[in-house]
């Protein structure tokens, strides 16, 4: 792969890290920079466009859920920005509408809104946050209960319960177990976990004779709409992740056995070595025939998942493969072909997955390699994507200078800087032994409310 994003001024790769408190303070300051930019230009709206100083509705034009506020709440709390925590929680209690007459994408609503409200409740203890969470989830349930198979529809109208989107990728079908399971535990209402687990069971039951899964299913007929096994790439990625995370959070051995069955098959048929690096190819789920060699930045989370689930040797090589890529593409592109070395999608959407794996592997091993590489990537993103109004996505990381876009995704407030902060801050509000974060970086276990 040719070097990309090599504009003059790229920060040098530091041999020595600053002291941990210095890094933690720098990361916290950058979070505040983004947060203040959002507050100035888009307070109460889903997302900010920090270059133009305008706002963006994430779920549907003309409707807002204050997405960035919900996404940021537990990060603000972990960083001990308590005035901002109060401001955010007050807004949610006063303005968040779980019964809006709008069609929402179920997957995004679960990981962002349901997860964010749960984490906010666990961190602050404010009961209205849990009430809002339950009200919202009750209005998402028709996506599951209206389906003849139990596989959820992609979209639901929160006011009417009308559902749509009968062909759904696996991540959207199965990325709900921890959130729904935790809500069942907190409320004593088992409907949420039952719906989530049935959906996962229905997917696993449709695996091929090779124990591989396709990419998408027709939720009405239960038939595969796409039989490419593309894990750990999207749109399958977090289906696998949530079998493991759900088993951890809920103590469910069946979920763990499903994860291991599927992960073993992915390792057998899709793991490929190229130039000393590990990558995951795409194959036909029934025959194992190789179909492609694309790797998405979203798949970088898999190094951390492999480590957490016990395959640390593969996890470390896969993580180092991504680190080697940052030598050629300092700001990671959305997608590349590991066989040809060509960038397939040169955007950068402020993705957190590489940092997520750094955090996971650091917690598992304590090795300085992960702090060093996480700090370096943080510095590179700061150099490339910081603007006066916060941080923005890039339209093309292969140009010099990098061509910027104009959006701060809500997940920026939930994930990227949280991972780096927790690695350096020795945060007193986080239980480093038991703490568990969702796929969207939401704190679902381990909030130390002292």
Read out DSSP for 48-67? EETTTTEEE-SSBTTB---H
List the CATH code of the domain at 20-445. Answer: 1.50.10.10
234 Cβ neighbours under 8 A, 6+ residues apart: 169, 171, 296, 298, 299
- The pair phi, psi for residue 7, each rounded to 5°, is -70, 155
Contacts of 82-85 with CB under 8 Å at 24 or more apart are 84/35, 85/123, 85/124
Cα–Cα distances (Å) from 110 to 138, 207, 290, in that order, read 11, 25, 33
Position 8 confidence tier, pLDDT thresholds 50, 70, 90:
very low
Please name the residue that has the structure tokens 């529809």: 153
Instruction: Calculate mean pLDDT across residues 323-351.
Output: 97
Contact between 391 and 34 (Cβ < 8 Å): yes
Q: What pLDDT is stored for residue 16 in this prediction?
A: 84
Q: What is the pLDDT at residue 3?
A: 55
Q: For 214-267, what is each residue's pLDDT tens digit?
A: 999 999 999 999 999 999 999 999 999 999 999 999 999 999 999 999 999 999
Q: What is the pLDDT of residue 15?
A: 63
pLDDT score for 381: 98
Per-residue confidence (pLDDT) for residue 235, from 0 to 100? 98
Residue 19 in tokens: 């002291």
Query: Across-strand partners of 336?
Result: 295, 343
Tell me the whole-structure pTM to 2 decimals: 0.96
What whole-number distance in Å separates Cα of residue 295 and Cα of residue 343?
10
Mean pLDDT score across all residues of the chain: 96
CA separation for the pair 154, 175 (Å, rounded): 12
Contact 187, 179 (CB under 8 A): no
What is the domain partition of the chain in residue ranges? Answer: 20-445
Question: How confident is the model at residue 433, as a pLDDT?
Answer: 97
Torsions phi, psi of 9, nearest 5? 100, 0
Respond yes or no on whether the N-terminal peptide bond of residue 323 is cis (omega within 30° of 0).
Answer: no
Between CA 373 and CA 380, with CA 374 as vertex, the angle to 5 degrees is 90
Looking at residue 85, what DSSP letter applies?
H
Taking only the tens place, the pLDDT of each residue in 108-129 is: 999 999 999 999 999 999 999 9
Instruction: Report whether pLDDT(7) > 50.
Output: no
Triad 61, 216, 237: Cα angle to 5°? 80
Mean pLDDT of the region 5-20: 68
Which of 368 and 13 is assigned the larger pLDDT? 368
């Amino acid at each position: 792969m040719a070097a990309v994003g090599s504009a003059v001024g790229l920060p040098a790769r530091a041999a020595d890290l600053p002291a941990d408190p210095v890094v933690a303070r720098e990361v916290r300051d950058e979070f505040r920079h983004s947060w203040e930019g959002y507050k100035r230009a888009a307070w109460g709206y889903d997302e900010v466009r920090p270059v133009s100083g305008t706002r963006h509705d994430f779920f549907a034009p003309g409707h807002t859920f204050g997405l960035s506020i919900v996404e940021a709440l537990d990060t603000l709390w972990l960083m001990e920005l308590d005035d901002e925590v109060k401001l955010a929680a007050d807004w949610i209690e006063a303005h968040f509408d779980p019964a809006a007459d709008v069609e929402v994408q179920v997957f995004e609503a679960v990981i962002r809104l349901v997860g964010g409200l749960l984490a906010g409740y666990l961190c602050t203890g404010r009961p209205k946050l849990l009430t809002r969470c339950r009200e919202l989830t009750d209005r998402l349930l028709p996506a599951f209960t209206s389906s003849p198979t139990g596989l959820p529809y992609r979209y639901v109208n929160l006011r009417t319960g009308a559902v749509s989107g009968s062909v759904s990728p696996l991540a959207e079908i199965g990325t709900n177990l921890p959130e729904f399971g935790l809500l069942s535990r907190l409320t004593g209402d088992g409907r949420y976990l039952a719906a989530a687990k049935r959906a996962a069971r229905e997917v696993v039951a449709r695996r091929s004779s090779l124990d591989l899964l396709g990419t998408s299913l027709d939720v009405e007929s239960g038939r595969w709409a796409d039989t490419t096994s593309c894990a750990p790439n999207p749109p399958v990625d977090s289906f696998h992740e949530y079998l493991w995370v759900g088993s951890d959070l809920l103590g469910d051995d069946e979920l763990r056995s499903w994860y291991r069955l599927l992960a073993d098959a992915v390792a057998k048929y899709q793991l490929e070595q190229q130039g000393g690096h590990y990558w995951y190819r795409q194959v036909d789920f029934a025959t194992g025939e190789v179909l492609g060699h694309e790797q998405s930045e979203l798949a970088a989370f898999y190094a951390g998942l492999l480590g957490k689930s016990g395959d640390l040797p593969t996890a470390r090589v896969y993580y180092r493969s991504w680190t080697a890529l940052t030598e050629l593409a300092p700001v990671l592109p959305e997608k590349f072909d590991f066989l040809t070395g060509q960038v397939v999608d040169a955007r950068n959407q402020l993705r957190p997955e590489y940092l997520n794996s750094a955090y996971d592997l650091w917690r598992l091993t304590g090795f300085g390699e992960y702090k060093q590489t996480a700090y370096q990537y943080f510095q590179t993103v700061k150099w490339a994507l910081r603007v006066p109004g916060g941080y923005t996505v890039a339209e093309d990381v292969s140009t010099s200078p990098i061509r910027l876009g104009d959006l701060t995704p809500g997940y920026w407030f939930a994930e990227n800087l949280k991972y780096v902060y927790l690695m350096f801050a020795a945060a007193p509000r986080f239980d480093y032994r038991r703490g568990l974060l969702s796929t969207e970086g939401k704190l679902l276990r381990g909030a130390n409310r002292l």
